[in-house]
Amino acid sequence: MDANKKLGLIGKNISYSFSKIFFEEKFHKLKLNHLSYSIFDLQDIDEVENVLKDTELLGFNVTIPYKEKIIDFLDELSDEAREIGAVNCVLIENGKKTGYNTDAFGFEKTLKIHRKPHQNAALILGNGGAAKAIKYVLNKNGISTKTVSRNSELNFENLDKETVQNHHIIVQCTPLGTFPNTEDCLDFPFEGLSKDHLVIDLIYNPNYTKFIINSAEKGAKTVNGYYMLEQQAEKAWKIWNFKKK
């Protein structure tokens, strides 16, 4: 990598960031003193234009709520990012901005560790950028999916216990319950869960959301978003470095 290069994270209300800690530890361990990682807390996606003017910027991560909106500001998408319709990692090379989706990689690794053979139908809670990556991975692995969101046909008001019983994978993709609002929880028929269920909440802070705690009480296997986050970050690191290896 060239001297004095910057990486960073684009999002909204992101004062707490796993990515900054993760990458700064990596720079320190690898003695990459010429690299820095910045937080770009944008109130509106149009503010990204100022960020992109920085010629030292090598790339950046993208988080809520800009994983879909960032696409308009990019020159190219990886095949996976195009199919998913969301980007969480951008590489800038010779002025060209290419969008990737490493959420899919991180989630697939998580799924392969925890999924049992009988778990062939999933409910995806939420329909934002992260949910799109989750749907892509589940479909790729032959798992049928239904999306539950405020605006979808199946929503949080008509989702019933029987539907939950018939879908043995539940993926919570909304930010509800994230620190500091740790008491918040989706309205969900937890009584439909059992030991046959795998519940994945993409939130990693706190470790145990109200959603995870309520699911575990019904006997479901529960997983938070930390491993997925770690794996998507490692994949982003490879993307930013791949031309140099």
Q: What is the pLDDT along the chain (245 residues), one digit of tens a residue?
A: 456 899 999 999 887 778 999 999 999 999 999 999 999 999 999 999 999 999 999 999 999 999 999 999 999 999 999 999 999 999 999 999 999 999 999 999 999 999 999 999 999 999 999 999 999 999 999 999 999 999 999 999 999 999 999 999 999 999 999 999 999 999 999 999 999 999 999 999 999 999 999 999 999 999 999 999 999 999 999 999 954 43
Q: Which CATH number fits domain 5-101: 3.90.1580.10, 2.20.25.190, 3.30.930.10, 3.40.50.10860?
A: 3.40.50.10860
67 is catalytic: yes
What token pair was written down for 64? Answer: 């809520």
Predicted confidence at residue 91, as pLDDT, reads 98
| CB count in 10 Å sphere of residue 158 | 10
Q: Is the separation of the CB atoms in 37 and 8 below 8 Å? A: yes
**The CA-based dihedral angle spanning residues 53, 86, 75, 37, taken in that order and rounded to the nearest 10 degrees:** 30
Catalytic position from the list 6, 67, 132, 135? 67
Determine the pLDDT at residue 15.
Answer: 76
DSSP 3-state assignment of 162?
helix
Q: Where in the chain is the domain with CATH 3.40.50.720?
A: 104-227
Sign, CA torsion 49/52/54/55: negative
**pTM over 0.85, yes/no:** yes
Cβ(202)–Cβ(130) below 8 Å: yes
Fold classification of 104-227 is Rossmann fold (3.40.50)
Domain with CATH 3.40.50.10860 in the chain: 5-101
